[in-house]
């Protein structure tokens, strides 16, 4: 598709502001427009289909994250507004088809890799229930509203979708007693299926809401995924504001507010672990019975991304403790090597770290030295492609997964655009080429 005018202007701005950093400029010029140039389709019904890259389906999570870097440009660009509003409308339609699904087809064609043991629909590519799949469309539409002042997305269908999300999250507060959701995959690794008769392992009531899968699409070890519940808490705050200021719906506002308080209580009461080295840290997962999974995954929502998602500040003491833990070898998915160090994922082989994790580490850092080191590491690990990848080996960036992964490109581009807007690139003292 043709790039909107505001995106072209941004690329021209980069030519000037990054002219002394040619490698960074090359990466930005390729990554910033990548979603629009390669993964976006404007459909005849006024909606927008944004697929993830090398997989032809649209994830609710990825599609939202793929366009977030364009939000600061949207206020004055009707073309961009058409793209983003069309995407949210399609996301709302998909949630109405199946709120438990994480990825959808462009048409009702029954396309998918696996015929899983769950309730399938021709529109559904994959039905792994992940809390964040419902968070991302609300986050995108709320941030779009704040950037542009446009509230056209908040129609009757949107209000009903907010109610449906709250209802589902309430159901999943008592997963074993009330949930209709079951999932199993008969092929592939154990991380692609739920144990215990397709229900997942037992959980205790905590106030948090249950998730079957992580944003990596891997099954949760314990059903209360802490960073996803943090994201839900933030999004429920968005729902409160929309219900009050747009709809004037006091009942909906109260429902969102009450559920937010219950989830926050669960996070603070059941989600904090006293670590012998780092002190109080947030666990990645818990079951509410006193069992904890201490780790982080590069996929967002993550513990690393808490400030980016708006749950806490970069100087919050428990966040800082948690950050120190997850950026250390105590986190079994943190790796260091000759060419890189950072957070990977059980979704990729041992020794692989993710560009998404490196970009998020920089986006949540207040240390210019750390940000500069991360930018240099990212520039040094694109394997000469000019694009971000899913994971790459810490000793050899030529070994990487997913050459076409638009979310990774978008998050890196968001980081660079943010640094440009804040006039921080000179402070970082990156090597210049004159």
Sign of the dihedral defined by the CA atoms of residues 201, 205, 206, 212, in that order: positive
Give residue 433's pLDDT.
67
Q: Are strands 285-286 and 279-282 parallel, antiparallel or unpaired?
A: unpaired
Q: Give the pLDDT band (50/70/90) at residue 76.
A: very high
The three-state secondary structure class of 265 is: helix
Q: Is the pLDDT of residue 349 over 90?
A: yes
pLDDT of residue 321: 98
Cα(70)–Cα(66) distance, integer angstroms:
9
Q: Are 224 and 288 in contact (CB under 8 A)?
A: yes
Determine the Cα–Cα distance for residues 369 and 377; give it in Å rounded to an integer.
12
Distance CA 264, CA 199 (A): 24
What is the per-residue pLDDT across 134-189, written as a single tens digit (0 to 9) for each?
A: 999 999 999 999 999 999 999 999 999 999 999 999 999 999 999 999 999 999 89
> What was the pLDDT predicted at 288?
98
What pLDDT sits at residue 306?
Answer: 98
The angle at the Cα of 306, spanning 174 to 62, to the nearest 5 degrees, equals 80
The answer for residues whose C-beta is within 8 angstroms of residue 203's C-beta and 6 or more apart is 175, 176, 210, 222, 223, 224, 287, 288, 289
The pLDDT tens digits for 89-130 are 999 999 999 999 999 999 999 999 999 999 999 999 999 999
Q: How many residues does the chain have?
A: 434
pLDDT reading at 278 higher than 80: yes
Q: What is the pLDDT of residues 373-432, one digit of tens each?
A: 999 999 999 999 999 999 999 999 999 999 999 999 999 999 999 999 999 888 887 877
> For residues 133 and 112, what is the distance between their CA atoms, to the nearest angstrom?
18
Sign of CA dihedral 411, 413, 419, 421: negative
Mean pLDDT of 68-75: 98
Ordered by start, the domain boundaries in the chain are 5-340
CA trace torsion 242, 245, 247, 249 (10° rounding): 90
Average pLDDT of span 267-280: 98
Q: What is the phi/psi pair of residue 50, to 5°? A: -120, 105
Query: Among residues of the chain, what percentage have pLDDT more than 90?
Result: 96
**Pairwise CA distance, residues 335 & 371, whole Å:** 18
Q: How far apart are the first and last CA of the chain?
A: 34
C-alpha span between 389 and 114 (Å, rounded): 24
CATH architecture label of 5-340: Alpha/alpha barrel (1.50)
Report pLDDT digits (tens) over 244-260. 999 999 999 999 999 99
Q: What is the mean pLDDT of residues 285-297?
A: 98
Report the distance separating Cα 60 and Cα 124, nearest Å.
11
Distance of CA 128 to the CA centre of its chain: 15
- Mean pLDDT, the chain, integer: 97
State what percent of residues in the chain have pLDDT above 70. 100
Calculate mean pLDDT across residues 325-338.
98
Give residue 224's pLDDT.
98
Tokens at 290, concatenated: 């006193």
Largest CA distance in the chain: 66
């Amino acid at each position: 598709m043709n790039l909107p005018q505001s995106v072209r202007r941004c690329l021209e701005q980069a030519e000037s502001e990054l002219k002394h950093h040619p490698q960074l400029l090359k990466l930005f010029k390729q990554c910033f427009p990548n979603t629009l140039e390669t993964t976006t389709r404007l459909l005849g019904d006024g909606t927008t289909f944004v697929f993830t890259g090398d997989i032809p389906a649209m994830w609710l999570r990825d599609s939202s994250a793929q366009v977030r870097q364009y939000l600061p440009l949207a206020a004055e660009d009707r073309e961009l507004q058409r793209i983003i509003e069309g995407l949210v409308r399609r996301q709302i339609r998909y949630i109405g088809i199946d709120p438990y699904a994480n990825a959808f087809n462009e048409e009702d064609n029954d396309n998918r890799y696996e015929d899983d043991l769950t309730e399938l629909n021709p529109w559904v590519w994959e039905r792994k229930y992940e809390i964040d799949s419902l968070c991302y469309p609300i986050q995108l539409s709320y941030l779009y509203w704040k950037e542009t002042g446009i509230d056209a997305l908040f129609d009757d269908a949107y209000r009903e979708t907010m109610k449906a999300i709250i209802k589902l999250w309430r159901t999943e507060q008592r997963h074993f007693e009330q949930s209709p959701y079951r999932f199993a995959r008969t092929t592939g690794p154990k991380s692609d299926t739920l144990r215990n008769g397709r229900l997942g392992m037992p959980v205790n009531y905590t106030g948090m809401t249950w998730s079957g899968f992580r944003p990596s699409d891997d099954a949760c070890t314990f059903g209360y995924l802490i960073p996803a519940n943090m994201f839900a808490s933030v999004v429920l705050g968005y729902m409160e504001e929309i219900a009050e200021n747009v709809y004037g719906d006091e009942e909906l506002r109260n429902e969102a507010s009450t559920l937010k308080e219950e989830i926050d209580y669960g996070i603070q009461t059941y989600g904090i672990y006293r670590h012998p080295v780092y002190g109080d840290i947030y666990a990645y997962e818990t079951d509410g019975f006193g069992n904890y999974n201490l780790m982080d995954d590069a996929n967002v929502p993550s513990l690393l991304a808490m400030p980016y998602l708006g749950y806490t500040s970069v100087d919050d003491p428990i966040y800082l403790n948690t950050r120190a833990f997850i950026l250390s070898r105590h986190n079994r998915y943190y790796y260091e090597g000759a060419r890189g160090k950072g957070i990977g994922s059980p979704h990729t082989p041992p020794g692989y770290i993710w560009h998404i994790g490196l970009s998020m580490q920089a986006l949540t850092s207040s240390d210019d030295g750390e940000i500069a080191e991360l930018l240099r590491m990212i520039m040094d690990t694109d394997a000469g492609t000019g694009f971000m990848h899913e994971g790459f080996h810490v000793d050899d960036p030529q070994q990487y997964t997913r050459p076409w992964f638009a979310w990774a490109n978008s998050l890196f581009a968001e980081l660079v655009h943010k640094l440009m807007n804040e006039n921080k690139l000179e402070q970082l003292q990156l090597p210049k080429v004159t």
